[in-house]
C-alpha cells in the first residue's frame, strides 16, 4: 500500500514538473518510477524525447543551416517518441501527447507535410480539450499553431479558385485563433495554481508577467497570438483585425506574457494610427466578435463589467494603449551591463523606442508638449 502511495506521489510530482517545464526534474522523477517498476520504462523514453525536444526547440532557429542540423540532432527524439507511441497502447492520453510532440519534432525539422499527416492521423481538429492537464493543454495549443504555420508554408492546392483560397486563409486564421485561446487559458490556469499556492496578502488576484519565466508560452505560441490579427488586416479585413487585437488585450492578465501584451498594445496603436481615421473609427463595443473554429475549445477569462473603460475616440484609444505599453516597457527594461544580457538589453531598448515614437506622434497631434517632455 505504501509503495502504491509513493508511486502515485511521484507521478503527481512528475506531472507538475512537466507543467512547469522543469525537464531535468521530470526526467529524474521518471527514472525513479522506472527503477521501482519496469512498467514505467516507456514513460522514461517518452520523457527523454520530450526533454530533448523542448530544450532544443527553445533555442533553435529557422535558417537552412539550423534546419539541416535539426534533422540530425532530433533523430534520437523521433525514435524515442515513436517507441513511446508503440508502448503507450494502454495509456491513450500519453500516446496522444507523444503523437503531438512527434508532430512538433517534424515541424522543427521543417518536415511540414509529415507534420500535417501526423496531426491528421491523430484527429487534431476534433481532439477534446476538456479536463486535460495544463501540460497537455499547451501541447494541443502548440499543435494548432503548428498546423496553421504548416498550411501557410506549404503551397495551396493547384487550380485554387478565389473562394477556395479565401476558405484556406480563414482556416489558417482559425487555427491561430484557437491556438491563442488555448495558450491564454493555459497561462491563466498556471497562474491560478501559483496564486492558490502563494496567495497575496490582500487575498486578491495578482500577477507579475515575465517573458523569461520557465512557464512562458514559447516562440511558437507567441507567433500564433500575433498572427491572427495581422492576417485579418493583410486580407483587407481591418475591423476584424482590430477586433482580434482587442480580444487578446481584454484577456485577464497572467504571468509570462508581459512582453506579449506590450507588443500587442503597440501594434494595435500603430494599426489605428495608420489605417483608421476619426470618421471611420469604431469604439470597442461596436466591433464584431470573431468566428470560432469549432466548439471543442476553451474560452479565456476576460475583463468584463460596466466599470471597464471604453475609449470613444481613436486618439483616446491609441493613447491608452501606448501608456500601457510604455509602462510594460519600463518594467521590462534591462539595466545590467554584463555581456550575457546585451542582446536582451538591446531588444528591450528597441521596444521602448518604438513605443515612445508612437507616443510622440499622438501627443504632438494633441499639442501635449509638457506631457511629452515628462
- pLDDT at residue 208, rounded to an integer: 35
Residue 251's φ and ψ, nearest 5 degrees, are -65, 140
Residues forming CATH 1.25.40 domain(s) in the chain: 1-111
Contact between 135 and 84 under an 8 Å Cβ cutoff? The reply is: no
Contact between 91 and 70 under an 8 Å Cβ cutoff? The reply is: no
- pLDDT at residue 340, rounded to an integer: 60
**CB-based contacts of 160, cutoff 8 Å, min separation 6:** 168
Helical H runs in 250-341? 258-275, 314-332
- pLDDT at residue 253, rounded to an integer: 79
Nearest CA among 312, 317, 193 for reference residue 254: 193
Question: Each residue of 146-182: b (16+ CB within 10 Å) or e?
Answer: bbbbbbbeeeeeeeeeeeeeeeebbebbbbbbbbbbb
Task: Extract the C-alpha cell encoding 349.
Answer: 531598448
Task: Extract the C-alpha cell encoding 123.
Answer: 484527429
Long-range contacts of 188-196 (CB under 8 A, 24+ apart): 188/251, 188/252, 188/254, 188/300, 188/301, 189/134, 189/137, 190/19, 190/20, 190/134, 190/215, 190/254, 190/255, 190/256, 191/254, 191/255, 193/134, 194/255
Q: What is the pTM (predicted TM-score) of this model? A: 0.85
Taking domain 1-111, whether its CATH number is 2.60.120 is answered by no
**CA contacts within 13 A on the Cβ side of 94:** 23
Give the whole-angstrom CA distance, residue 94 versus residue 122: 13
Task: Extract the C-alpha cell encoding 274.
Answer: 495608420
β partners of residue 100? none
- pLDDT at residue 2, rounded to an integer: 60
Contact between 142 and 220 under an 8 Å Cβ cutoff? The reply is: yes
Per-residue pLDDT of the chain (374 residues; tens, 9 = 90+): 566 777 788 888 988 899 888 988 988 888 888 877 767 888 888 999 999 999 998 887 766 677 888 888 899 999 999 999 988 876 888 899 999 999 999 999 999 999 999 999 999 999 989 888 999 999 999 999 999 999 999 887 776 788 888 888 999 999 999 999 999 999 888 887 665 554 443 333 333 333 333 446 888 999 999 999 999 999 999 999 999 999 999 888 776 777 788 899 999 999 999 999 888 999 887 444 454 544 467 888 887 777 778 888 898 999 999 988 888 877 666 555 666 656 666 667 777 788 888 888 888 776 776 766 66
Task: Extract the C-alpha cell encoding 104.
Answer: 512538433
Helical H runs in the chain? 2-19, 23-36, 41-57, 64-73, 75-87, 92-108, 112-122, 134-153, 162-197, 218-234, 238-249, 258-275, 314-332, 342-365, 369-373
- pLDDT at residue 362, rounded to an integer: 81
Task: Extract the C-alpha cell encoding 299.
Answer: 474560452
Task: Give the DSSP per-residue string, 131-162.
Answer: T--HHHHHHHHHHHHHHHHHHHHSPPPSS--H
- pLDDT at residue 213, rounded to an integer: 39
Amino acid at each position: 500500500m505504501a509503495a502504491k502511495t509513493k508511486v502515485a506521489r511521484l507521478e503527481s510530482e512528475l506531472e507538475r514538473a512537466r507543467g512547469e517545464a522543469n525537464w531535468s526534474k521530470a526526467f529524474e522523477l521518471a527514472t525513479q518510477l522506472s527503477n521501482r517498476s519496469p512498467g514505467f520504462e516507456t514513460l522514461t523514453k517518452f520523457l527523454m524525447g520530450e526533454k530533448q525536444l523542448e530544450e532544443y526547440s527553445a533555442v533553435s532557429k529557422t535558417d537552412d543551416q539550423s534546419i539541416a542540423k535539426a534533422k540530425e540532432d532530433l533523430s534520437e527524439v523521433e525514435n524515442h517518441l515513436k517507441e513511446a507511441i508503440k508502448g503507450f497502447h494502454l495509456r491513450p492520453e500519453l500516446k496522444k501527447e507523444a503523437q503531438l510532440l512527434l508532430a512538433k519534432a517534424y515541424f522543427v525539422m521543417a518536415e511540414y507535410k509529415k507534420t500535417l499527416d501526423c496531426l491528421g492521423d491523430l484527429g487534431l481538429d476534433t481532439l477534446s480539450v476538456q479536463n486535460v492537464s495544463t501540460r497537455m493543454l499547451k501541447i494541443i495549443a502548440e499543435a494548432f499553431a503548428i498546423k496553421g504555420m504548416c498550411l501557410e508554408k506549404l503551397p495551396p492546392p493547384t487550380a485554387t479558385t478565389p473562394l477556395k483560397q479565401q476558405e484556406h486563409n480563414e482556416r489558417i486564421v482559425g487555427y491561430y485563433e484557437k491556438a491563442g485561446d488555448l495558450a491564454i487559458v493555459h497561462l491563466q490556469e498556471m497562474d491560478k495554481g501559483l496564486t492558490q499556492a502563494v496567495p497575496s496578502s490582500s487575498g486578491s488576484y495578482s500577477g507579475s508577467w515575465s517573458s523569461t519565466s520557465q512557464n512562458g508560452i514559447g516562440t511558437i505560441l507567441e507567433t500564433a497570438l500575433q498572427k491572427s490579427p495581422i492576417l485579418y488586416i493583410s486580407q483587407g479585413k481591418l475591423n476584424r483585425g482590430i477586433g482580434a487585437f482587442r480580444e487578446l488585450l481584454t484577456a485577464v492578465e497572467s504571468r509570462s506574457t508581459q512582453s506579449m501584451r506590450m507588443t500587442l498594445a503597440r501594434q494595435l496603436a500603430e494599426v489605428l494610427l495608420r489605417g483608421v481615421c476619426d470618421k471611420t473609427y469604431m469604439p470597442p463595443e461596436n466591433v464584431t466578435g470573431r468566428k470560432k473554429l469549432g466548439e471543442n475549445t476553451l474560452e479565456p477569462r476576460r475583463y468584463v463589467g460596466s466599470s471597464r473603460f471604453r475609449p470613444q475616440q481613436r486618439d483616446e484609444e491609441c493613447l491608452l494603449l501606448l501608456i500601457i505599453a510604455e509602462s510594460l516597457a519600463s518594467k521590462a527594461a534591462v539595466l545590467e551591463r554584463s555581456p550575457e544580457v546585451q542582446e536582451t538589453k538591446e531588444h528591450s531598448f528597441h521596444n521602448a523606442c518604438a513605443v515612445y515614437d508612437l507616443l510622440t506622434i499622438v501627443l504632438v497631434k494633441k499639442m501635449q508638449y509638457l506631457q511629452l517632455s515628462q
